């Protein structure tokens, strides 16, 4: 029998006023996979992620994460589950008045207030180097970093509590192609080393081909298909064909073959 999915979503409905974003959305994420989530702009990828991590209360449906029902939990229980995942938001969401090291220490202080300064600094340095930043990035403020370094700093903070599950919202947006490829490699390497499951929203076809085990496509308010890119390519849906088989999709495959 296969293992229960690490994220299971059933019949999800989200709306803002009379704008319905999701209706009858179902999705399973399997432990150990990198699941890419794609869809046109405004199809509700970020809203889906926010629903899973409890920042958006759905109108209806069921969301189970790590075996726990995420809807209508009391705050203490929700907090206990939250520490088992890390999130990298689209804009990095670092605290601008804190250094990189202090940003990484925020979740550790919240969950382990008894950990003393020297050990905190050591853990922060470890997470910073694990995210591919030089050691001297720790005392810097986010405004002193490049876009790529800020993403890595956000990643270091997402890894602060040794998560089992990582949520990444467009991690390579705004990076140059070389920086984006390096970030993909970093994610893939961390996934292997740390046994992570990754929920990854992206528009980046190179990322999808390079590191995603499966891809979920959101359209018409639901997940219309999930599978490997090869499996998706066999489907007749116009958006899927246009996306993966259009000029950019073909360029991504050509780039991959050129490596």
Q: Which residues bind ligand ATP (CB under 6 A)?
A: 16, 21, 39, 41-47
Q: Which is nearer to ligand ATP, 16 or 114 (CB)?
A: 16
- Closest CB to ligand ATP among residues 41, 143: 41
Assign 6 to helix, strand or coil: coil
CB 218 within 8 A of CB 237: no
Give the E-state strand segments of the chain in sequence order: 7-16, 19-29, 34-39, 60-65, 68-69, 85-88, 165-169, 197-201, 214-219, 222-227
Q: How far is CA 170 from the centre of its chain?
A: 8
Closer of 2 and 41 to ligand ATP (Cβ): 41
What is the DSSP code string of 195-238?
A: T-EEEEE---HHHHHHH-SEEEEEETTEEEEEE-HHHHHTS--H
Q: Given the complex with ligand ATP, which of 46 and 197 has the nearer CB atom?
A: 46
Is the separation of the CB atoms in 252 and 258 below 8 Å? no
CA distance 200 to 167: 6
In the complex with ligand ATP, which residue's Cβ is closer, 41 or 96? 41
Which C-beta is closer to ligand ATP: that of 28 or that of 170? Answer: 170
- CA angle 12–18–19, rounded 5-degree value: 60
CB of 42 to ligand ATP, least distance (A): 4
CB of 134 to ligand ATP, least distance (A): 30
| Residue 51 burial (CB count, 10 A) | 24
Helix (H, G, I), strand (E, B) or coil at 64: strand
Least Cβ distance, residue 220 to ligand ATP (angstroms): 13
Q: What is the dihedral of CA 209, 174, 178, 199, to 10 degrees?
A: -40
């Amino acid at each position: 029998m296969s293992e229960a999915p690490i994220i299971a979503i059933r019949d999800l409905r989200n709306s803002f006023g009379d704008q319905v974003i999701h209706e009858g959305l179902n999705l399973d994420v399997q432990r150990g996979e990198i699941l890419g989530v794609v869809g046109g702009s405004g199809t509700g990828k970020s809203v889906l992620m926010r629903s899973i991590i409890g920042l958006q209360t759905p109108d209806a449906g069921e969301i189970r994460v790590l075996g726990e029902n995420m809807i209508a939990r009391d705050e203490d229980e929700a907090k206990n589950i939250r520490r088992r995942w890390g999130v990298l938001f689209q804009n990095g969401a670092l605290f601008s008045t804190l250094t990189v090291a202090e940003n990484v220490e925020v979740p550790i202080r919240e969950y382990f207030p008894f950990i003393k300064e020297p050990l905190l600094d050591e853990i922060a340095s470890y997470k910073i180097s694990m995210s591919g930043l030089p050691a001297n990035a720790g005392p810097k403020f986010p405004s002193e970093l490049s876009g790529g370094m800020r993403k890595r700093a956000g990643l270091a903070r997402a890894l602060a509590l040794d998560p089992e599950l990582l949520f990444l919202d467009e991690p390579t947006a705004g990076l140059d192609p070389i920086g984006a490829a390096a970030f993909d490699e970093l994610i893939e390497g961390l996934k292997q080393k740390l046994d992570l499951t990754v929920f990854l929203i992206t528009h980046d076809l190179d990322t999808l081909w390079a590191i995603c085990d499966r891809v979920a496509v959101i359209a018409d308010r639901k997940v219309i298909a999930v599978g490997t890119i090869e499996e998706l390519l066999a489907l007749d849906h116009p958006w899927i064909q246009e996306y993966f088989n259009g000029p950019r999709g073909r360029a991504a495959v050509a780039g991959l073959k050129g490596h």
